[in-house]
């Protein structure tokens, strides 16, 4: 591993770009290779086996690109395949997910509180957040709701549309989310509609986007291994399906991205 090697990041689609945005903010001198696995979107409705297979292939590709850190910018893939990615990267690269830093943040800031969590079916059914919280003997009460249609709408680009408010009204009124003291966005697509979620709650509760703590942890890991790049900043964005659909609207919310390139893995 060398400091001037790139950071590899992947998700099922555009959601992981919310993490990339934060990476660019905190680590502007890092080279980044992003892979959006659009051909297999949504991960949230796939089995653990399918997601693991994809994660292995993408990890192989990112290792071929000499990535020093592979960051799974997807809760569904973090829940289903982090162990496999970690095993594959072994001593070749560092591996990171979006869940562990989020749990740490909850434990440090919301212990004893009732937290709502929005995520895909894969993440919710894996119980990964509950299990990790239990392991910490935490006093957090977590109540999770799967919100798959929200992910689909965001991936389709309905970010500033009334569609989102209609979906939020349905989902956020669910039993699971009543009397919560904070809401965790446990799908990397959801920070793209954080404003609308906050507005639903009249800004009365914290809406947590873990991207900041995920990237702070990555910064710490790289720094601990003496792997911080001081002279890079190149970024490549690949997608496993036709880039035209993504390229047409992506610049509206990610001006840093010039264009996605098609790459079959």
Closest separation in Å from C-beta 21 to ligand DGL? 14
Q: Is 74 a catalytic residue?
A: yes
Q: CB 197 → ligand DGL: shortest distance, Å?
A: 15
Q: Which is nearer to ligand DGL, 44 or 243 (CB)?
A: 44
Q: How far is the CB of 193 from ligand DGL (least distance, A)?
A: 13
Instruction: Report d(CA 196, CA 59) in Å as an integer.
Output: 34
- Judged by CB, which is closer to ligand DGL: 15, or 243? 15
- Per annotation, catalytic residue among 67, 174, 187, 236: 187
Residue among 74, 97, 106 nearest 214 (CA)? 97
In whole angstroms, how close is the CB of 37 to ligand DGL at the nearest point?
8
CB atoms within 10 A of CB 109: 13
Whether the bond into 42 is cis, omega within 30 of 0: yes
Choose between 59 and 120: whose C-beta lies nearer to ligand DGL: 120
Query: Which stretches of the chain bind ligand DGL, using CB under 6 A?
Result: 11-13, 15, 41-44, 74-76, 120, 123, 151, 187-189
Residues 186 and 118: beta-carbon distance below 8 Å: yes
Q: Which is nearer to ligand DGL, 86 or 121 (CB)?
A: 121
Point out the residues that are catalytic: 74, 187
């Amino acid at each position: 591993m060398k400091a001037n090697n790139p950071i590899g990041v992947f998700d099922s689609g555009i959601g992981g770009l919310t993490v990339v945005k934060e990476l660019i903010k905190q680590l502007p001198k890092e080279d980044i290779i992003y892979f959006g696995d659009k051909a297999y979107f949504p991960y949230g409705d796939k089995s653990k086996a399918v997601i693991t297979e994809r994660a292995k292939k993408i990890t192989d590709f990112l290792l071929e690109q000499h990535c020093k850190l592979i960051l799974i910018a997807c809760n569904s893939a973090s829940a289903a395949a982090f162990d496999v990615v970690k095993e594959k990267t072994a001593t070749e690269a560092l591996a990171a997910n979006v869940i562990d830093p989020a749990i740490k943040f909850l434990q440090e800031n919301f212990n004893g509180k009732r937290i709502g969590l929005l995520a895909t079916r894969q993440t919710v059914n894996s119980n990964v957040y509950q299990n990790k919280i239990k392991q910490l003997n935490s006093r957090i009460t977590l109540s999770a709701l799967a919100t798959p249609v929200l992910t689909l709408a965001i991936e389709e680009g309905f970010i500033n549309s009334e569609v989102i408010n209609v979906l939020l009204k349905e989902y956020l009124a669910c039993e699971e989310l009543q009397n919560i003291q904070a809401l965790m966005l446990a799908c990397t697509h959801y920070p793209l509609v954080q404003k609308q979620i906050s507005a639903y709650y009249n800004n009365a509760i914290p809406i947590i986007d873990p991207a900041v703590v995920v990237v702070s942890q990555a910064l710490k890991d790289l720094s601990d291994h003496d792997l911080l790049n001081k002279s890079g900043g190149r970024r490549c964005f690949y997608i496993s399906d036709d880039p035209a659909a993504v390229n047409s609207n992506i610049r509206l919310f990610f001006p840093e991205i010039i264009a996605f390139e098609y790459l079959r893995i």
